[in-house]
Every structure is written in structure tokens, then in C-alpha cells.
Amino acid sequence: MAEPSLAYAPAIDVEPGIVHPTPDDSPGPLRLREKRHDCVQLAGFGAGRDLAAWLEETVGACAAPGAAVPVLNQEALLLATGPATWLLVAEPGRLAGFPPGPKDGLHAIAALTDFSDGRSVAFELRGPAAAQVLAMHLGLDLDEAGFAPGRCAATGIHAMQVVVARREPDVFLVLVQRSFAASLWEILLDSALSYGAVVDPAAS
Amino acid sequence: MTQPFRLARGGLVDRSQSLEFTFDGAAYQGYRGDTLASALLANGVRLLGRSFKYHRPRGLYSAGVEEMNALVRIGSGARAEPNTRATQVELYAGLEAGSQNRWPSLRFDLMAVNSLLAPLFPAGFYYKTFMWPARWWRGYERIIRKAAGLGVAPALPDPDRYEKKHAHCDVLVVGAGPAGLAAALAACRKGLRVILVDERAQAGGSLLFDARKIDGQACALWAEGVIRELQGSPRARVLTRCTAFGYYDHNTVALAERMAPAAPVRQRLWHVRAARVVLAAGAIERPLVFGNNDLPGVMLASAVRAYCNQYGVAAGRKIVVFTNNDHAYETAFDLAAAGVAVAAVVDPRAEVRPDLGRRLAELNIALHAGSTVRAATGRRRVSVAHIAHAGGASSAVPCDVLAVSGGWAPSVHLHSQSGGKVVYDESIAAFIPGAAKQNAVSVGAGAGQFSLAQSLRAGYAAGAGESPGVAGTPVCEAEAPFSIAPLWVVPSTPGGKAKRFVDIQDDVTVEDVALAARENFRSVEHLKRYTTLGMGTDQGKTSNINGLAIMADLRGDPIPAVGTTTFRPPYTPVALGLFVGRETGKRFAPTRLTPMHAWHVEQRAVLATAGLWLRPKLYPRAGESYGESWQRECRHVRRRAGMVDVSTLGKIDIQGPDAREFVDRVYANNQASLAVGRARYGLLLREDGLVMDDGTLARLSENHYFMTTTTAQAGAVMSHLEFLLATAWPELKVRATSVSDHFAQIALAGPDSRSILQALLPHEDLGDEALPYMGVRRGSLDGVALNIFRVSYSGERAYELSIAAGYGLSLWRKLLVAGASCELAPYGTEAMGALRIEKGHVAGPELDGRTSAADLGMGKLASKKRAFIGRRLLERPALQDADRPGLVGLVPAGPDTAISAGSVLTEKAVPGHETLGWVSSATFSPSLNRHIALGFVASGPARIGQRLLAWSPLQGREVPVEIVAPVFFDPQGERLHG
């Protein structure tokens, strides 16, 4: 019998279902799931102006600091996570071979690093409790007027580096280093006790 | 009859909901809406505590946060909460409360003997009394500690849940009285994000029982309407039972929110960042200082009024009001309206506002103007008020409650905490907020604006961020201005012995303040420390102003010249659990797990923490002891092959046209000559020339390097590289990125490692020519990129496999299958540590931040020609000293016995004798079947062959050792290739 092929293992191995029942006074439970995706980091040399121009030309936009913008025909999300640094996030397989064609030009202006299995274990938090739960850990002003859909921030939750992006008013994406993922998962679910919590099937 | 002091009507309590509770084991009844204090008062319970020092009987004094006497224990066992103000505890069914600081009982407290010994206990007595003989101090200390304090904190872990939350707003309003409600309303109507907080269960403050009208509505109804409007706005949040206890930089205010008893969360800590803060914290009534002013039954006039109006409770049957200002007259009027007898109003002012006098006369209440209450007397509670009348006459008025008011102290605490100054306002005899340091404004009684109209006007303007009088300002009828004649202390009766308390909680008397002044502790800060004035759990809310005014008089200075003590957070005591939140036990810090963690758990590996990581120490088999297990793993690596999860190693991706230059500058050893496809040992120094870390550097392509660090230093090295690129060499076109989490890493070691790897990768050429020692291969497995580094930590032929973390577990399993025929087995950090000691490889215990490259025997690695980080300070004479401790091997000189890591190396195991070095790492060597160790000894290798003692005074162990070369096993390194 042939050896089985290498298999991908998600960072969180749990059965979907209700973790905390939703109390009567809750606006709705936190819905949480791990969302697999591809992720590359583009880190420009110097001030990163050349990379910013390259991004405009190649992926269709360059996210300003603190922004998360859809690029590559809406198939990927470009997050500005630090000085001259961007994360490009997409469904699995969508970034294979990125960028297309010769890469010499890019390598002259930036470092391209695959992060698909590293920092970018992604949790999707969904529901009216999502912002409430995040507000228990983040000093960010999560008001929709300030941290609107399309905004992101590189910040921390309980001494764990995270990148938080707001996709929709009630949908957040939290990227965390894989080794911390189980701790973050546990903390998020624990924090949702007053709201109710449901684990949704992992998505890819 | 239950609740004998409950009035037939009135109050905001829900009389349809009766609640049972206990105090000191006795059962009582109250109503929903009561506090523990109001319910006890309704039941006629007057004795609620004993004083701190003299154990004098004490009763309820206030109705709010300033309560200094009625400190009780709530709950029992792990949930017991000591020092809780009964005035702030909402009554609930089954509440269990108990008194504190008494023995054997509250009524009969043997420690009350202290009161008789009071002449021996003046202020600061313990500074003078326990000075000699010095050796007795330990005994004194034990007794003092036992006697000190009020409540006792439970020793059991707190089972309650505490949470934290962050919030941002345009306007934070502290206090939901008239000014605060007006401010919140204005902010809300302007569309601003507003948070309104109030420490009480119900917003409204004094409006809840104010008979006047605002905007044509009864005050309580107006307040209700404002709350409704706020609650209906998505941009407003109203938090009751929530105390703003700390005001910090950047307009950050900390709130402690108390939840209802049955809620799953007990308390919540809020960090609120506000663009603007409106402080409408109200004011606290000051007591008057006269003889026996601490007797149960002496209460603040505002509290007596609050119990009557808010809770429908008569504080007593016959009440005397003693006041130096107009406000307390309202207490007399309200009591009379509720049918409670008011025996007299005593006012030191010769002239009293005519309308007040008229109303008293209409109610048949005697007014003693120009008079003072010299003392109260009674056994365990007030029974007589002794009045000194104008002209020298005196009288004794029977009463059971003495309602006192010495004026009002605006709550300037938060303003002061925020950095604002306070200024003294003669017209109200109080300190009020001066200029604010942050974007904050104080309004209402908290700013000395004691009229309702003033409060509403100032509050509304502050909330709107506009000038007073802005359109929409709520209006109410005008009232007479506040009038007060300061009375800081009532002279004692000649020869009278009644104590006059300034700080009732801390038993500080007028005489104590006078003593402090005589002994030159005249600064208000010295006065506080010397007498303990204001150092109780109430932080002097009712005593500080009286105390400093008395000191001002003694010094002959005006009050502003004496000033106030510093206001510091918290405003009221905060449970420590609130700051801890959920970060207890395993949540104290996050745990990092490797991609193969599930397998380690499945195999019942013994796990150990390494920093935040959880790593397998060993994989015990049935019947094996701890030692047998890891020694078996060790031997198996040397004999066949083993695999170890090294995913915790730091991994840094370095890319850019200047990457070669960069790595050559950061490593002490030459890296410029490293060829593509090769790896090299790397030694990193700090700026001071000492070793920071070590690891390997692999060159993946022309401008692409892969650096590994130790697990412990991964973060520090990454920060070091980023710091250098950002500050020292911004011109370099290089980026360093931590990829520690992106890769799962497995070390495969042992003589059979190559054949196992070949079984896994049958199409790869793994021969020594194609992949030599320190070679690097970038391959793939099932289409997934797989890097192979031929490096070794064990001294055996070995390979480190690096794959995207999501595939780590699968690779681990596949490798085990591929190695089954070679009996491939996992090994843990215990075996890994022993293997590296056998080889003399340095690790954390040797790279302890004190050692140089030369100390580690790697001095020659450091380049002499080029510049690198640490080069300059490496040349310091101290680091060139040949006598510096250098790395050596150690073996027992006599019978084989364990050498303790951490032992000192010396010639004589005698305290104070010269220490020549230390043992850094020690193990039993399964390969050599003896104990071995690494250590540092003065002059290092020059001492090889000498004998010393490895002495561990902590363990009481002393082992003769011989100094040997640090590489114990395969010194020629032949097995790396075998």
C-alpha cells in the first residue's frame, strides 16, 4: 500500500458546536472558526516606497498604514501591518507562484516570505459579540466609525502578537502565530462566556 | 415587629420584595433596593464594628463610599470579602455579613481594653516604644502585625470571575447626579459617544429624593427621562454600580464595575480612553469634631436624610441636628415630614437664614443658634447631646441620633489624580478643582457648585463642550446661596476626657494632631504618616480636611498654605482579582505548542515548560523510571537513530541584496565566505563583547539566508537584528523576518539517520558528496517544500528537516514509518541535553550573558580583521585576561557520583574561601556510563588535570572533581560522518 501523502493539520483540532450557551441578554453568540489561507509577507527595503509602487502595479492597490484592502481581483486581502510591510492573504492555493513571472525585480526592492503556516493562523470571529470579545483584550477603538471594515492593526492580545482586520461590521479576522493559536483560541472562547460561543467548522 | 425603624412609607425600596439576610449569624429582613446598611438600620442594629486602635464601638456614619465604621465581611470561605462598606453592599436574599476586628464578639470585645490604655498609645507610639532592645523587634513585630488591620483576607483562591474591557468615547462622565446627568444628556444630544458611570446601583444621585422640579418635571422623573434617553441612544452607555477609581495619563480612566450577585462575572475592570472627561463626582459631607463624635448614633446629616428619603428608614427616634451650614436643615425638614422627631437643630452661627428659622419654628423644632454640641454621651450609642449655648449656658438634650454636618468636601480625587491642582475656596470652606492638566472639567458639587441650578448649567455646558448657558440647558428654580461658617473643632469641656476624633476610622484624635505639631511633624504629609490620619481604607475622605485645618490653626497658617496630601488611585478599595482578571493559573501566560504537540500528548510524553513553550522531556515506556527512559533514548541515538522535535528553535529569514554584508556584520565569525547551499555555526555577540547566542546560518541562495537561534534567545535575537537594521544600518537593503512559527523542525540523529531519510526521500541523493556535513538541500515531499540541513547537535550524523508547520505532524508520522525498520524512536530534551554535554556543546547554562567567546573556547572564531557587533568591547582588557574562567569538562575524581549543576568550584569547601569557578551543566552520560559536567574555572583549559571540589552549599554536597577537556565523547568528531 502506498504511503499516505503529507496531510495538512489545522492549528486547532476541535469539534464544531456550542461552547457556551447564549444568555438571554446577549446580543448573540461569538461564532469562531479557524480559517486556513495562504499568506505572504512583503517587506520593503528602506522606506518601502519602491515596494508600494510595485504593489499598486502588480496587485492593484497599496494599503495605507492600518488598512486592509481587497486586491488581485478581490481574491486576496492586502494588510498594511508595519512600516514598509504588508501581508497578502488569500484562499489556499491562490498565492501559489506569487508573483507571476520573474521575481528579480521584486527581490531588488523587497523580501518576500511565505507565512502561510507561521504567523497567519487565522481565526474568524463573527457575530455581534465579536467586537465585544475583542474589546476585552484590545486597547483599540473598535467603534465602526474608527475601526471600520477595511481597517487592520498589528497589535497584541495577552502578550501574543496578532493582526486584527475587520472584514464586515460583525466579522473580524485575527492572525496569530501558530504556536500561540491554541492559547488565543482558548482565551477568545473563555471571554465569550457572557455572550455565548459557537465553534463553526473550519473554513478554507 | 421586624424592621422597627422602617418608616411606614417613603423611600425607593420595593416593599413587595422582602429579602432575608444575616449579620453576625442573626437573621434579619430587608427590601429589594436596600443596602446592607439601610437594612441593618431599619432593623435597629446600631453596633456594626470596632475601631482600629481602641476598639471603641462604632455604628453607621454615612450612606456612601466615605463610610469609615461599617466595614464588614461579606460571604464566607473563599468568597469572603473583608473591609466592605455596608453602605455600598446591595441587599440580596441570603446575604451573609459579619463584623470584623473584634474578639470574641462585637458586643463584648476584649481588645476594647486598648481604650483604657489610650494614654499609652498616642500618635506614633510605636515609633518610640519598640526601639529597644533591638533583638526583640521580631517579637514586637509579630504582635503588632496580629493587632493591625481590620478584616482578614481569605487564604483560599478566589473562585470568582473577573473580566477586563477597553472602551473609547468622546465624553466620559463620572457621576450620575444632576451635573453628570446634564453633561451626559448634552453630549448625547450632540451625537457624541458618551459613557456615564455612577458608583450607585441607580443613577440620579440627590435628584432621586429632591422635591424640586427640573424643566417642569419632578427631579426624579427628569433623571429617569435622561437615563431613558441615554439608554435609547446607540452612542451612549450607562454604567451603574461602577466606580471610576483611577485617572491616568492620556485621559485614561479605570472603572470597577460590580455585577449583580448572581451574574457569572463578579466584577469588570474598564479601561476607558476619553477625548474629554467630565468629573461630576459630587461632594462628601464632613463630620464635626467634638467629644465622643464617634459614638454609634452620630451620623452625617446627609446620610440620615438619605436613609429617610431613599430607603424609608428612620435613623433614630429622636434626632438632634448639629450643623455649621444651611444644607443640614433640609435633613431636619425631611425627617419632620416623615414623622421622625427632631429634638433640636444646633448651629454655631449666631445668625441663621430667616426662612430656615421660620420653617423650624413651624415644625416646632428648637433652634439653638450660636451653640455647639460639646460632646455626645451614652453607653455604646448616643443618648444625650451636651450643648454649649451662646452666653455660656449649657444643656443636655436626650436623643438617639446626632446628625452632624461640618460642610462639604468636593470629591477632587480624580481631578487631582489626573494631575490637576486644587485650590481653597473660602466661601465654601473647601478645596475645589483648579486648572485641569488633561482634557477634563469638573462640575457640580464636585467643583463646589452646591446649587442645583449651578450644577445643571455647568454640567450641560461641559457635556456639550460649550459655554454655560448653551441652548437646552435644564432649568430649575433658584435657591439661596450656600452658607457656611467653618467649625473645624469644638473646644472640649474643661476637664472633659471625651475623645474628639478627627479620623474616626484610624482613631486619630485632635490631641494626636496637636502632638504631631508639637513634635514638628507639621507638614501635611508628615502629619499623615505620623498619626495615620487618612491612611485607612477610606483614605481620609471625611477626615483629611478637618485634620489639615486643625494643623493649619496649630501652625498659625492659612489652610491653603498647609495644602492637601496627594490623591492617588484607587478612589475606593478595589479587589485585587479585578486587576488579575482571567490571567490566573494556566492563563497567566500563553503557552506555545509545536506542530507535533498532539502526537507528544498522544504518546504520553513528559512535558516541560521552556519559556512559554511546552516541550517533551522524554517518552517513557511501560515500567521505565524517569532516568531509565531518557538514558534509553540517549543510547538509542548513539546506537541507531532518534528524532527530536526542535520546532521551538528560533528561525529567522534574512533576505536582500545586502544580506551577505548584514550577516557578516552581526556574527563574530566570518560568514561572508559561506557558500550557497552550505550552513555554518554562528556566534552572536552583544555590543559589550559577551556572547548573546549561537546557532547556525544557512545560505539558501545568493541573497537569502536562514538563521537559527536557541529557543530561549529567539525573540531577543530577532529584536537585536531589527534594532540594528532600524538604527545602525538603515542603508542596508535587507529585511529580517521571524519564521519560527512557519516551520516545523525535526532533528533526525544517529548512525542510521541517513538510511531513514533515504527511505523517506527515495529520489533524493543524500550521499556525503551531494549533501556533506553542513550542507543544505532545498527539496520537497509530496509537493510540499522541505529543507534539509545536515547539522548535528548530538555529535552523530544528523539532519534537521524543516517543513511548513501545518505539515509538521504528518512529516513526523511519516518519518517514524520510514524509520520503523531502524527502530527509529523519539527523544526528548532530557536526552538531547545529555547528548550535547557529552559533546561539550554549549547551551543556555553556558551562554548565560557573562561569557565571552574565548571563555567558551571559541576565541579563535572571532574575526581579527573585520568589524562586527561586539568587536570593539571584546578588546577590553578584562575580556582578554588569561585568568578569566574558561570552559572545561569535569568528572568525579573519586567514585562515580553525580556533580550538581550550580556548584562552585573551589579548593576548600569553606564559606568565604576563594571560588575558582562554577559547574554550568551536569548529567549522567549513558554513552560513557559515568557522571560528567561542564563548568568554568579560572584559567580554564590551563587547569586540565587539576583537582578541585564541586561544592553545593545549598544541597550540602561536596564532590571532588578532575578538570578535563570539555568534549567527552568522540572528540575527533568522526561520528558526524559515520
* Rounded alpha-carbon distances, angstroms, from residue B187 to B63, B192, B198: 30, 5, 17
Reference B58, options B122, B91, B101; nearest CA is: B101
Which residues 6+ apart lie within 8 Å of B508 measured at CB?
A: B123, B501, B502, B531, B532, B533, B543, B547
| Residue B260 banded pLDDT, cuts 50, 70, 90 | confident
DSSP B400: S
The dihedral region occupied by B388, where left means phi > 0, alpha psi between -120 and 50, and beta the remainder, is beta
Helix (H) / strand (E) containing B797: none
What the block records as the C-alpha cell of A123 is 481565526
Residues of B in contact with A140 (CB under 8 A): 166
Average pLDDT, chain B: 95
Element (H, E) at A198: strand A197-199
pLDDT of residue A1: 43
SS3 of B555-573: the string is HCCCHHHHCCCCCCCCCCC
Residue B239 cell numbers, joined: 454604567
Residue B342 pLDDT more than 60? yes
* Higher pLDDT, residue B304 or B123: B304
Whether the per-residue pLDDT at A2 is higher than 60: the answer is no
The strand pair at B401-405 and B318-323 is best described as parallel
Which A-chain residues 19-58 have CB contacts (< 8 A) with chain B?
Answer: 36, 41, 43-46
Alpha-carbon gap: B581 to the closest alpha carbon of chain A (Å): 10
Q: What is the mean pLDDT of residues B206-233?
A: 95
CA-to-CA distance for A172 and B3, rounded, in angstroms? Answer: 55
pLDDT tens per residue across span B830-864: 999 999 999 999 999 999 999 999 999 999 999 88
Short-list B546, B506, B504, B492, CA closest to B524:
B546
| pLDDT score, position A204 | 63
ipTM above 0.90, yes or no: yes
What is the tens place of the pLDDT at every residue in A53-85?
999 999 999 999 999 999 999 999 999 999 999
Whether the per-residue pLDDT at B139 is higher than 80: the answer is yes
CB A118 within 8 A of CB A177: yes
Picking from A95, A112, A117 by the largest number of B CB atoms within 10 A of its own CB, the best residue to mutate is A117
Minimal C-alpha gap between B918 and chain A (Å): 35
Cell of B248: 491616568
Q: What are the tens digits of pLDDT across the range B601-629?
A: 999 999 999 999 999 999 999 999 999 99
Whole-angstrom Cα distance, residue B592 to residue A177?
A: 9
According to DSSP, residue B764 is labeled S
* Per-window interface: A 166-195 vs B, CB < 8 A: 177-184, 186-187, 190-191, 193-194
Distance from CA of B655 to the nearest CA of A (A): 6
| Test mutation, B733, B743, B802, chain A, max A CBs within 10 A | B733
Angle at B773 between CA B772 and CA B777, to 5 degrees: 60
Please indicate if any CB of chain B lies within 8 Å of the CB of A136: yes
Is the omega angle on the peptide bond into residue A99 within 30 degrees of 0, that is, cis? yes
Residue B709 Cα, gap to closest chain A Cα (Å): 17
Q: How far is CA A192 from the centre of its chain?
A: 20
Best mutation site among A104, A113, A147 for testing chain B: the one with the most B CBs within 10 Å?
A: A113
Task: State the sign of the Cα–Cα–Cα–Cα dihedral B51, B54, B55, B56.
Answer: negative
* Residues in CB range of B429: below 8 A, 6 or more apart: B407, B484, B486
What's the pLDDT score for residue B53? 87
B857-873 mean pLDDT:
92
Cα–Cα distance measured from residue B13 to residue B16, given in angstroms and rounded to the nearest whole number = 9
Burial of A25 (0-12, 13-18, 19+ CB in 10 A): exposed
User: Could you tell me which of B221, B225, B242, B216 has the C-alpha nearest to residue B188?
Assistant: B225
Residue of B169, B504, B480, B179 whose CA lies nearest to B355: B480
Over the stretch B790-826, which tens digit does the pLDDT of each residue have?
A: 999 999 999 999 999 999 999 999 999 999 999 999 9
**Do residue B807 and residue A8 have CB atoms under 8 angstroms apart?**
yes
Chain A segment 109-128 residues within 8 A of B by beta carbon are: 110-119
Q: Which residues pair with A168 in a beta bridge?
A: A171
Phi–psi pair at B113, nearest 5 degrees: -60, -25
What's the rounded Cα separation, in Å, for the pair B488 and B548? 9
pLDDT tens readout for residues B66-87:
999 999 999 999 999 999 999 9
User: How many CB pairs below 8 A link A and B?
Assistant: 145
**DSSP string spanning B867-913?**
--TTHHHHTSHHHH-TTSEEEEEEEESSS--PPPTTPEEESS-STTS
| Cell digits of residue B496 | 472633659
A15-61, pLDDT tens digit by residue?
999 999 999 999 999 999 999 989 999 999 999 999 999 999 999 99
Q: Report, as an integer, the average pLDDT of B545-574.
A: 94
- Grid cell locating B305: 436624610
B57: pLDDT strictly greater than 50: yes
Residue type present at position B240: T
pLDDT of residue B108: 85
Question: What does DSSP say about strands B401-405 and B298-300: parallel, antiparallel, or unpaired?
Answer: parallel
Q: Give me the residues paired with residue B95 across strands.
A: B21
Q: Looking at the predicted structure, is the pLDDT value of residue B104 above 80?
A: yes
Say how far apart CA B849 and CA B690 lie, in whole Å: 6
Contact B678, B776 (CB under 8 A): yes
CA distance B159 to B623: 39
Q: What per-residue confidence (pLDDT) applies to A3?
A: 60
Cell 478627627 belongs to residue: B502
Residue range B474-484, pLDDT digits in tens: 999 989 999 99
Secondary structure letter of residue B484 according to DSSP: B
CB atoms within 10 A of CB B848: 14
Nearest CA in chain B to A137: B165
Look at B653 and A111 and tell me if their CB atoms are within 8 Å: yes
Residue B366's beta-bridge partner residues?
B344
Looking at CA atoms only, how far is residue B635 from chain A in angstroms? Answer: 29
Residue B478: count of CB within 10 angstroms of its CB: 10
Q: How far apart, in whole angstroms, are the C-alpha atoms of residue B278 and residue B169?
A: 12
Q: Can you state the angle between helices B354-362 and B327-337, rounded to 10 degrees? A: 20
Q: Kindly compute the dihedral angle of the four CA atoms of residues B374, B377, B383, B384, in this order, to the nearest 10 degrees.
A: -30
- Nearest beta carbon to residue A180 from set B582, B590, B653: B590
Pairing verdict, β A197-199 and B14-23: unpaired
Residue B171's contacts (CB-CB under 8 Å, 6 or more residues apart) are B183, B184, B187, B192, B193, B194, B195, B274, B275, B276, B277, B278, B463, B465
Cell triple for B845: 547554562
B730/A183 touch (CB, cutoff 8 Å), yes or no: no
The strand pair at B95-98 and B162-174 is best described as unpaired
Residue A119 pLDDT exceeds 70: no
pLDDT tier for residue A116 given thresholds of 50, 70 and 90? confident
CA distances B558 to B313, B317, B424, B429, B555, Å, are 41, 41, 10, 12, 9
Give the CA distances from residue B67 to residues B37, B40, B532, in Å, rounded to whole numbers and listed in that order.
Answer: 10, 14, 17
Kindly report whether the peptide bond that precedes residue B657 is cis, defined as omega within 30 degrees of 0.
Answer: no
Per-residue DSSP letter, B726: I
Residue B863 sits at φ, ψ, to 5 deg, of -65, 140
Strand (E) or helix (H) holding B367 = strand B366-369
Return the higher-pLDDT residue of B821 and B145: B821
For position B107, what pLDDT does the model report? 86
Cα–Cα distance measured from residue B44 to residue B726, given in angstroms and rounded to the nearest whole number: 72
What's the rounded Cα separation, in Å, for the pair A167 and B15?
51
Neighbours of A8 (CB within 10 A): 16
**Distance in angstroms (rounded) separating the CA atoms of residues B734 and B730:** 9
Nearest Cα residue to A42 out of A2, A87, A101: A87
Enter the C-alpha cell of residue B562: 498647609
Chain A residues with beta carbon closer than 8 angstroms to that of B803: 6
- pLDDT of B634 reads 98
- Cβ–Cβ < 8 Å for B936, B920: yes
Instruction: Using DSSP bridges, classify how beta strands A85-90 and A76-82 pair: parallel, antiparallel or unpaired.
Output: antiparallel
8-state DSSP, A151: B
Whether residues A143 and B589 touch (CB distance < 8 A) is answered with no
- Asked if pLDDT for residue B48 goes beyond 70, the answer is yes
* d(CA B717, nearest CA chain A) in Å: 17
